[in-house]
């Protein structure tokens, strides 16, 4: 490909990402890592909602630091992203999302990332986006506990709902969430967001 | 009747079964499921009144905790 064409493609990609607005529901293991990946990739605007504060037990897998313990997660995440790229706009919403609040918070987002811990909350958000945000696609995760067998993590594409995970490994005492697998799932979600924002995957072998 | 559930062929007695009955048969925990028939999402409130018939392609995905 000629240099000016490559340059043009890069500019288009950059512009599309810079003008995108992506919602992230939950700022724990999935949400914090996904948000950072999207910010580094150049997504211009992130709407992140979570009600919780950073706890020392979160530091084994979530994108926070020891000196942020006790702070609202969304504010700590906004600071961390600001240190990576101050041009990324982070709308930090400290609230517990229900269907009404989710529909209001993520209005205008072309993609919403489901990054909750609790399965019932995941179901609530998926239904809310599918029913009440007809312009948005939801990228959700199910089954990301434990470690190993990474090839079992798959992607199920169902129109405006895309699911990542193995769909069976629930978090429990024996099966804790661990940084590598949670990070893989978070970045799978982020990669799917890029694919949606850029209208498809990057050309193979390019 | 023959249907496919999550891309596996399955023989189910009778000529139709409600989504709710199918979930019960497969022991899926009720509120945390994504169900699709022929690519179309079935809303949770319609599980009792939506029926799977011969040849349908059914997808049932479990939402499990973790994040």
A73-128 confidence digits (pLDDT tens):
999 999 999 999 999 999 999 999 999 999 999 999 999 999 999 998 999 999 89
The domain segmentation of chain A, as residue ranges, is 3-197
The answer, for A23 touching chain B at a CB cutoff of 8 Å, is no
Decide if B6 contacts B59 (C-beta within 8 A).
yes
Closest among A81, A93, A79 to A25, alpha carbons compared: A93
Do the Cβ atoms of A156 and B61 come within 8 Å? yes
Alpha-carbon distances of B17 from A198, B5, B30, B64, rounded to whole Å: 41, 13, 16, 25
For residue B66, list chain A residues with Cβ-Cβ distance below 8 A. Answer: 117, 141-145, 165, 169-171, 177, 182
Q: Average pLDDT, whole number, for chain A?
A: 94
| Calpha distance A68→A5 (Å, rounded) | 44
B61 min Cα distance to partner chain A (Å): 7
Q: Which sequence spans correspond to the domains of chain B?
A: 2-62
Is the predicted pLDDT of residue B30 greater than 60, yes or no? no
Please state the separation of Cα A122 from the chain's center in Å: 13
What is the reported pLDDT for A205?
A: 65
> Beta strands B51-53 and B16-18: pairing type?
antiparallel
Lowest mean pLDDT among A15-24, A39-48, A71-80, A167-176: A167-176
Residue that wins the pLDDT comparison between A62 and A205: A62
pLDDT at residue B24, rounded to an integer = 86
Residues of chain A neighbouring B62 (CB-CB closer than 8 A): 142-143, 167-168
Select the CATH number that applies to the domain covering B2-62 from these four: 3.10.20.30, 1.20.58.340, 3.40.50.2300, 3.40.50.620.
Answer: 3.10.20.30
* Of residues A122, A159, A182, nearest to B63 (C-beta): A122
CATH of domain A3-197: 3.40.50.720
Q: Which of A40, A68, A42, A38 is nearest to A55 (CA)?
A: A68
* A170's tokens: 């629930």
Residue A191: pLDDT band with limits 50, 70, 90: very high
pLDDT at site A206 = 55
| Contact (Cβ atoms closer than 8 angstroms) between residue A125 and residue A97 | yes
Rounded Cα gap, residues B55 and B10, in angstroms: 10
């Amino acid at each position: 490909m000629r240099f000016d064409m490559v340059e043009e493609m890069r500019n288009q990609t950059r512009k599309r990402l810079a003008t995108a607005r992506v919602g992230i529901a939950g700022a724990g293991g999935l949400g914090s890592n996904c948000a950072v990946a999207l910010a580094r990739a150049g997504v211009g605007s992130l709407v992140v909602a979570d009600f919780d504060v950073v706890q020392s037990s979160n530091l084994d897998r979530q994108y926070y630091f020891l000196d942020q313990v006790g702070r609202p997660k969304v504010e700590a995440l906004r600071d961390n992203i600001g240190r990576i790229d101050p041009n990324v706009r982070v709308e930090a919403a400290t609230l517990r999302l229900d269907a009404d609040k989710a529909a209001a918070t993520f209005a205008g987002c072309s993609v919403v990332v489901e990054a909750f811990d609790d399965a019932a909350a995941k179901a609530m958000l998926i239904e809310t986006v599918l029913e009440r945000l007809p312009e948005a696609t939801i990228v959700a995760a199910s089954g990301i506990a434990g470690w190993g067998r990474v090839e079992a993590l798959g992607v199920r594409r169902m129109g405006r709902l895309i699911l990542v995970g193995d769909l069976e490994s629930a978090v429990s005492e024996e099966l804790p969430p661990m940084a590598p697998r949670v990070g893989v799932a978070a970045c799978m979600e982020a990669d799917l967001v890029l694919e949606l924002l850029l209208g498809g995957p990057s050309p193979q072998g390019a | 009747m023959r249907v496919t559930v999550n891309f596996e062929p399955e023989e189910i007695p009778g000529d139709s079964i409600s989504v709710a009955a199918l979930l019960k048969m497969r022991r899926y925990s009720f509120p945390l499921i994504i169900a699709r028939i022929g690519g179309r999402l079935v809303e949770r409130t319609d599980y009792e009144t939506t029926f799977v018939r011969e040849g349908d392609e059914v997808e049932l995905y479990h939402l499990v905790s973790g994040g």
